[in-house]
Amino acid sequence: MNELSIAAGLLQPVAAAAAAGVTDRMRETAEAFEASFLSQMLKPMFEGLSTEAPFGGGEAEGTWRGFLVDAMAKQTVKAGGIGLADQVVAQMLKMQEAQEPAA
């Protein structure tokens, strides 16, 4: 019967992998939040720019400018961002630890 007993530490790697998956999702969420924040902060910089010729893109440039700003914000986060995502992840982990019942 000993052959069928389960070692106590057998399930620990699964729990660690699940915790890593949760942390990865937290990181993704925090980075998306940082990109959204940066996008909102960058938009006013581009509102007053002229889109007229000879170097402007005309009406289309004004139409697609929001997508450009969003892409710049995402690239900024991908390159390391401003540190907001790190702070958000830290707070999310604190909140999660506070909700876990003491065993």
| pLDDT score recorded for residue 12 | 57
Whether 97 has a pLDDT exceeding 80, the answer reads yes
pTM here is: 0.72
| pLDDT score recorded for residue 5 | 63
Inter-CA distances, 30 with 24, 56, 63, 101, Å: 10, 35, 28, 24
| pLDDT tens for each residue of 38-70 | 999 999 998 887 777 777 777 788 788 899 999
Distance from C-alpha of 38 to C-alpha of 50, rounded to nearest angstrom: 22
